Amino acid sequence: MLLKGTGVSAGVAQGTAYVLSCGYRSAVPQRSIRASEVDGERGRLEAAVAKAEAELAALQEDVRERIGPLQAEIFSVQRLILADASLRDRLLRTVEQKRVNVEAAVSEVLEDSARSLEVAKDGVVQGRAADVHDVRRRLLSALAEGPGGARPEIPSGAIVVADELLPSLTARLQLEHVGAFVTVRGNRFSHSSILARSLGTPAVAAVPSALAQIKTGDRVIVDGVAGVVFVNPESSIEREYERLAADLKSSKEKLRQLIDLPSTTLDGTPLPLLANVNKFSDTEAALLYKAEGVGLYRTEFAFSIRSTFPTEDEQFEFLERAAERMHPRKLVFRLLDLGGDKILPYFPLPPSRNPSLSERGIRLLLRYLDVLKAQLRAFLRVSARYPISILLPVVVGVEDVRQVREVLGQVQSELTAEGKRFNPAVPLGAMIEVPSAALMIRNLSKEVDFFSLGTNDLVQYVLAADREDESTTPNYQPLHPAVLRLIQSVVEEANNCGRDLSICGEMAGDPLNTALLLGLGLRELSVAPGQMLEVKNAIRRTRLEDARKLATAALELGSAAEVEALLSK
Ligand code: PEP
Ligand code: MG
């Protein structure tokens, strides 16, 4: 299940849900009291005010230390409200005259004050209403708990799910135990969001059905970058996020110093390092490691987490957010690559004896024009404001590109007729991941603006070894000389035809292969963000002349084992 909200503190976390029920949101326990109870209620009010004041003071101190004195001032207003003698008088009068418990008085009097502020014309005065609400909730919370409210025992790494994380509650949590926050209410400017950000704890707010859909013990993924929450997700989604969490954490502390160093070889040749991105939140890791752009944005993930095809507008929304985030860097969106190992639960493909050799990629998409058109429209709309390119998956030959160009032309006419803006010269590229395409670069160069070498598939098709099948793993050899020769020929032909070429297959992310790939002539690498620093490290240790010699030697060898032996030397 996928719940949408607003990412208020970036980062991702996976863990077990811990649902907190917060007293201040549940119905206020209102009751009539006897005259003999008035004194007791007065005492309860004093205790609650004192507790609230102590909490606020502690919170203010905490914020002052962790964030700064300016932010800590948010709480001064609330402390002033609490200290206001006339407010206390009104509260006590209400208890005495109306003979109601303190909760009822707090609720009535403070709601009343908040309402009068809310109607004010001045935005700043209006803003004070939120402080009054907060004080009201804090007092009710203090009254609900009685003296020394219990500190919830949060299991380590738990995903805290709550209606709203007001500072009074947040302050009581063992924050170091919290893996992430999910709340029904709140926004970026809520106090708890500020705190979550300062602690580096991922948080998603404004998830209306969080309490209805999440139970304590559920497996939850919180994506504070995209603003989504997955409840009991499939293992493929968990794996995706495990990878991103590892990317963001990057155990390779010693490589961090490389972040700000240029990606250039020892002899000073710049080697742009781009990121492979599977979902919006991967842009976080891409930016963290200062990727020069996104060389491959796979769009399948965004389709796989929904129960139907996302609409054009939905696609536009998440693609434009990514483009905005990466701006002004280069960004290559790939059209949906279905078939083979990539299947959508709501789009069953006919059973096939051999999925990798059945219709897939762009050819499959061309049979589902509605899906293709919606995606192209979304891409084009993003191109109006951002420098994006469009990449076609699993291109086999020139017809594939020509057909897409035809559909692209139709879509452009439609958009023009609707008065929607787009870049009419948006660059179109082809994935080179099928041997036929690798051998037809010269012809394809007349049809596309750039190429991206997809070695994950290329290796399986060159060596007849299924990339997903464990029994063929020993035969799936990215370093096989046949693969290297094909890569070399693609590089040469693309250069001759003046077409940009990058490599985005996994083999580009292995630093052991970097010198070899540079020696084969590749000059732009797109790798998973978590591999970026290691590859940059390898680039910075490579002299192009040595790399060329290495590649020449490798191309002469007869097997992958021999190439591996050469590289490890
Ligand atoms: C590839 O095939 O090398 C590639 C980058 O695409 P994917 O892994 O998505 O098939
Ligand atoms: Mg591929």
Mean model confidence pLDDT for the chain: 90
Measuring CA to CA, which residue among 427, 423, 366, 425 is closest to residue 393?
A: 366
Average pLDDT estimate for 518-536: 94
Query: pLDDT for 79-123, tens place per residue?
Result: 999 999 999 999 999 999 989 889 889 989 998 998 888 787 776
Mutational pocket test of ligand 1: of 457, 458, 467, the residue with most ligand atoms within 8 Å of the beta carbon: 457
342 lines ligand 1 (CB under 6 A): no
Q: SS3 letters for 511-530? A: HHHHHHHHHCCCCCEEECHH
Q: What is the CA(520)–ligand 1 centre distance, in A?
A: 20
> Is the preceding peptide bond at 202 cis, omega within 30 degrees of 0?
no
Starting from the CA of residue 452, give the closest ligand: 1
Q: Which two tokens stand for residue 351?
A: 């059973």
Q: Is the CB of 361 under 6 A from ligand 1?
A: no
Confirm or reject: Cβ of 504 under 6 Å from ligand 1. yes
Model confidence at 549, pLDDT cuts 50, 70, 90, reads: very high
310 compared with 187, residue with greater pLDDT: 310
Res. 23: pLDDT tops 50: no
Instruction: Find the mean pLDDT for residues 208-215.
Output: 93
Q: Which of 168-172, 322-326, 559-563 has the lowest mean pLDDT?
A: 168-172
> How much is the average pLDDT of 526-549?
95
> Atom 7, ligand 1: which residue's CA is nearest?
456
DSSP class of 152 = P
Q: What pLDDT does 115 receive?
A: 86
Query: Is the CB of 433 inside a 6 Å radius of any atom of ligand 1?
Result: yes
| pLDDT at 517 > cutoff 50 | yes
Q: What are phi and psi of 346, to 5 degrees?
A: -95, 10
**Strand ranges (E), 187-250:** 203-205, 219-223, 228-231
Q: Would residue 327 show up in a list of annotated catalytic residues for this protein?
A: no
Candidates 22, 133, 191, 480; catalytic one:
191
Nearest CA to ligand 1 atom 4: 454
As a whole number, mean pLDDT of residues 210-236 equals: 94
Q: What is the pLDDT of residue 72?
A: 78
Task: Look at residue 149 in the predicted model and tell me its pLDDT.
Answer: 45
pLDDT tens for each residue of 235-254: 999 999 998 888 777 656 67
SS3 347: strand
User: Does 540 have pLDDT greater than 60?
Assistant: yes
Say yes or no: CB of residue 356 within 6 Å of ligand 1: no
Number of C-beta neighbours around residue 132 at 10 A: 23
543 pLDDT band (50/70/90 cuts)?
very high
Distances (CA, A) of 188 to 8, 202, 340: 5, 12, 41
Atom of ligand 1 nearest to the CA of 454: 3
Identify the pLDDT of residue 172. Answer: 60
Q: Where are the beta strands (DSSP E) in 55-153?
A: none
Residue 419 has pLDDT above 60, yes or no: yes
User: Ligand 1: which residue has its CA nearest to atom 8?
Assistant: 456
> pLDDT above 90 covers what percent of the chain?
64
pLDDT digits (tens, 9 = 90+) for 30-67: 788 888 889 999 999 999 999 999 988 988 887 788 66
Could you report how far apart the first and last alpha carbons of the chain are, in Å? 49
497 is catalytic: no
HSE-up of 23 (CA within 13 Å, CB side)? 18
Q: Whose CA is nearest to atom 3 of ligand 1?
A: 454
Ligand 1 close to Cβ of residue 198 (< 6 A): no
Q: Determine the pLDDT at residue 154.
A: 80
pLDDT at 169: 63
- What separation in Å is there between the alpha carbon of 408 and the centre of ligand 1? 23
For 200-233, letters b (16+ CB in 10 Å) and e give ebbbbbbbeebbebbeeebebbbbbbbbbbbbbb
pLDDT tens sequence across 478-506: 999 999 999 999 999 999 999 999 999 98
Highest mean pLDDT among 159-168, 190-199, 239-248: 239-248
Per the model's pLDDT, the better-predicted residue between 25 and 94 turns out to be 94
Compute the chain's Rg from CA coordinates: 29
- Among 467, 508, 459, 478, CA closest to 341: 467
